[in-house]
Amino acid sequence: MEIDLGANAFGIDFHPSKNLVAAGLIDGHLHLYRYDADSSPVRELKVRAHKDSCRAVRFIDGGQRIITASADRSILATDVETGALVAHLENAHEDAVNTLINVTETTIASGDDKGCVKVWDTRQRSCSHEFNAHEDYISDMTFASDSMKLVATSGDGTLSVCNLRSNKVQSQSEFSEDELLSVVIMKNGRKVICGTQNGTLLLYSWGFFKDCSDRFVDLAPNSVDTLLKLDEDRVITGCDNGILSLVGILPNRIIQPIGAHEFPIEDLALSHDNKFLGSTGHDSMLKLWDLEGILESSNGNSGNASGAAGDSDSENDGMDLDDDLPKSSKGSKRKTKSKSTPLNSTASFFADL
């Protein structure tokens, strides 16, 4: 299925229990579509959420509301049923908000173009944590719920691990030669996978973040703009050549191509029942792929491990972990867009409307 959005979408997310998919557009609009395998998608909602580009979208409160983040530095909550604006964090950051993820049922995290990460309590409507580990935009984040640690990647070429219990930056990697654009946690929490601007996947062992333990280069030279964890052994990559690929991790291999857009991929998401894969690109199209059929066709296609500097790196490498192995929750990711002039003040609460 394909949906012509009329403008490029920077972020998409699926409803946690219904056949609904949301998209945030470059013109600031939020679109909501109802989809079904046997019929064409129907647009349920279209609202002008932001005056500048809408860079990230996430369902919260069991799917009752949609949170959006924007280059105008604001974070908004929109009612799914009515389209009404129900909460407004006008000056959430001092610079454009670039990425947004769910952390817990009552907290979200946001990252901006200056490298600042904030965690927000949606009940108290206030900022509970702030981390300034990076010197450039936050490209992606994921959360290790068991250890309460937030993993972020940045355009400055580093990965950081922020401990929400101690409110400290616990670890940070050495500078990579290229921008880190995307991140997922895999192998039951033992590996952190980062996509880079030059197309190399960097594999870090949990607890040992100074330098990567493995590299996979078969996607190069196409930048890996987005990663979506499918299971503990497979990840879906979206690259700037428009290609979506199913990639195995340890052994590292490209299992098969999934599909394509005419232009670079912006975001990927899975439906609540894992039947559909959603993808957006710079072609203004939202595509819904039959993931069940794609995975059935890949059964038995083990591929050959290739392109890695160290395929012998095992997920059970006997390392001493600094905490229990984490479970991750994945969020949206953004590359740098046009930045906005920062305001002098930062709001500390959501304003009821």
Which residues does residue 79 pair with via DSSP β-bridges, in sequence order? 65
Q: What pLDDT is stored for residue 293 in this prediction?
A: 87
Helix residue spans in 197-306 (DSSP H): 291-298
pLDDT for residue 300: 52
Q: What is the pLDDT of residue 33?
A: 98
Which residue stretches of the chain have pLDDT < 70? 298, 300-353
Phi and psi torsions of 293, nearest 5°: -65, -40
Q: What is the pLDDT of residues 122-131, one digit of tens each?
A: 888 889 999 9
Between CA 80 and CA 138 the distance in angstroms is 27
Domain boundaries, the chain: 9-103, 133-287
Q: What is the predicted pLDDT for the residue at 309? A: 44
Q: Say if CB 92 and CB 342 are below 8 A apart.
A: no
* pLDDT for residue 125: 81
pLDDT score recorded for residue 292: 87
> What was the pLDDT predicted at 123?
82
Give the CATH number of domain 133-287: 2.130.10.10
d(CA 241, CA 55): 21
> Collapsing DSSP states into helix, strand and coil, what is residue 271?
coil
Q: What is the pLDDT of residue 4?
A: 97
